[in-house]
Structure 1
Amino acid sequence: MSDILTQNDLMPGQLLARGVCRHLYSYDFVSVEEFVPTSGRRVDVMGLGPKGEIWIIECKSSRADLQSDKKWQGYLEWCDRFFWAVDSGFPADLLPDDTGLIIADGYGAEIIRMGPQVKLAPARRKVLLQKFARHAALRALAARDSGFTRPF
């Protein structure tokens, strides 16, 4: 049996995340999904740019999904830029104007509005880069070794 997920296996937010990750790569960003920058926080997508810039993207598949998110402002201190990713039918006027906006689907995305840049402190950036590397390495190990017990 294959461990590869198909389009039909993914939830709407996961489809948005996949399109976002594909688009970020066109900017030479690598990304991980469901990343935990600190205890009690889990972001949908964290992107790491070629110069060490860190972007967080929260994927919202519906109005209810957005309205139930009470933690998003706590993510701002963990990135250089923050974005929402939504599909083309999402009422984007519900999203704060001082955040980035990405329109996405399961195959790609487009940055509509760049989020403001707020540089992370060097010590926090170092911690995040180390966590990002470990997270990505553990995901790669789990993907190639079906007997590996996932710690996340």
Structure 2
Amino acid sequence: MDEVRMLGLFAGATTDPFGELLLRALAGPGPSGVRIDLCQVPEDLPAHASPGTSSLPPQVQKLRALVADTHLLLIALPEADGPLPWPWSTALNWLGRPSTGSLLPALPTAVLTTEAAVTAPSFTSAEELLTSARCNLVGHRTAAEARSAARNSGPQQ
């Protein structure tokens, strides 16, 4: 493999003012052989249709083509303990359903958030959707968990 391709998905600034900024910081100059492309989740995605739909809307085809051409998916979410915002729930449904045509099974996917901690003990709405699509979730759920893991994996005294 010559190049590792990552796709960073973010919502528009009205849904999440920090998602694009977080991904742009990650996409800055990095190691040779790693490319991070960024894509805003289309806000005009139609509601997910039943599995019997034979043709996909053009915006859905474009989004699915981007995901199909990536090795790792980075999802920047505005985190809350409630339902996902419209563009996200719709996009993840189009990517993950029906499971027979899903692009997500086994695709390494990191869910990034600017939130310090997730207060609910269960998975977030996005993680539940991704898990039901058999996505391979990787990494820590929050910045606080990453800091805690880094502290705990440091040199033992």
- Higher normalized contact order (CA 8 Å, seq sep 6+, divided by chain length): 2
State the TM bucket, normalised to the shorter chain: 0.3 to 0.5
Query: Hey, which of these two has a bigger chunk of strand by percent?
Result: 1
Q: TM-score, normalised by structure 1?
A: 0.39
